[in-house]
Amino acid sequence: MRRLTYHEPESLKDAFALLEGHGETAKLLAGGTDLIIEIKQETKTPDHLISLRCIPELQDIDYSNGELCIGAMVTHRMIEQSKLIREKFSLLADAVDNLGSVQVRNVATIGGNICNGAPSADTAAPVVALGAKLVLDGPAGERQVNVEEFFQGPGKTALAAGEILRAIRIPTLPQGAGSCYIKHSRRKAMDLPLLGIAVIIVPDDNMVCQEARIALSLAGPIPFRAKKAEAFVTGKPLSREIWEQAAQVAVSESNPRTSFRTTADYRKKMICALIPRAAETALRRVNKAWMKG
């Protein structure tokens, strides 16, 4: 690996100062499971790495005032093991369940997953479906960006030079909501998704859809909400047929590409197959929540 200098600031203020001092030659380091590989492959060549490991503000999961706030340095393992997230934000727990290995999840962070901007990021579709806001902090102060606007293209995000993602803010889902994320990949473990499908459903007492959110990743250059499909199911009884039709609508909104992993056509077929399946699981989880009282 090429030579570089490692910094481990203990406050955001020190991190900003280091970022400013070293400018383009510095990169932020979270778990390193994307970045260290890129440095080894020399696709990124920073002279300075600024580790966020010791900055206290970035490390916690907090749930209060109807909002889940996940620090950028929270690892996938912490999310996997959070009972609260599994119960109330099931699709996010789904997203990390098969993300890499235990070794990867122990160090890899949600902040790194989002900031890397990879179309294959497993947390991307879930955070888009959840309507998350990203708290970006810079020397000039804090700003909040809707996660949908944050993703701008493969590997391109709204993060400005000198900024650090501090936290991901997620509003609580409406009462009686169920959710699910399906990662479609060739192997069950240690594989990147070919397609990511996130569904959130809120049915009323008569199983009529009050609200639906569908977010897809790898169905276009950036993760997105299939708004037409969402509008299609809203107000309709939640049957398999309705979801199959909604999936067709979602396909018309998507623009997947043919890559070395698979073809655009296959991805479209899988959108049709998996949206109803994700909806079914989401609905089952609603019922479970109800049975618990």
Ligand X SMILES: Cc1cc2nc3c(=O)[nH]c(=O)nc-3n(C[C@H](O)[C@H](O)[C@H](O)COP(=O)(O)OP(=O)(O)OC[C@H]3O[C@@H](n4cnc5c(N)ncnc54)[C@H](O)[C@@H]3O)c2cc1C
CB 182 within 8 A of CB 278: yes
**Distance, CA of 128 to CA of 243 (rounded, Å):** 20
Selection from other proteins, ligand X, none that 77 binds (CB < 5 to 8 A by kind) is other proteins
Interface with other proteins by CB under 8 A: which range of 87-95, 101-109, 140-148, 265-273? 101-109
Q: Does residue 40 interact with other proteins by CB under 8 A? A: yes
Q: Does 55 bind ligand X (CB under 6 A)?
A: no
If one asks whether residue 194 binds ligand X (CB under 6 A), the answer comes out as no
Q: Considering the complex, what minimum distance in angstroms separates the CB of residue 270 from other proteins?
A: 23
- Could you give the string, one character per residue 68-107, with x where binding to ligand X holds by CB under 6 A and - elsewhere? ----x--------------------------xx---x---
d(CA 168, CA 145): 10
DSSP 8-state code for residue 75: B
Smallest Cα–Cα separation from 6: which of 32, 37, 29, 39? Answer: 29
Binding flag, residue 229, ligand X (CB under 6 A): no
State how far the Cα of 163 lies from the Cα of 21, in Å rounded to an integer.
13
**Residues 64-67: contacts with CB under 8 Å, at least 24 apart:** 66/171, 66/172, 67/169, 67/170, 67/171, 67/172
Binding site for ligand X (CB under 6 A): 27-35, 52, 72, 99-100, 104, 108-109, 111-113, 115-116, 120-122, 159, 164-165, 192
Binding site for other proteins (CB under 8 A): 1-6, 8, 32-33, 36-37, 40, 49, 51, 53, 77, 100-104, 106-107, 189-190
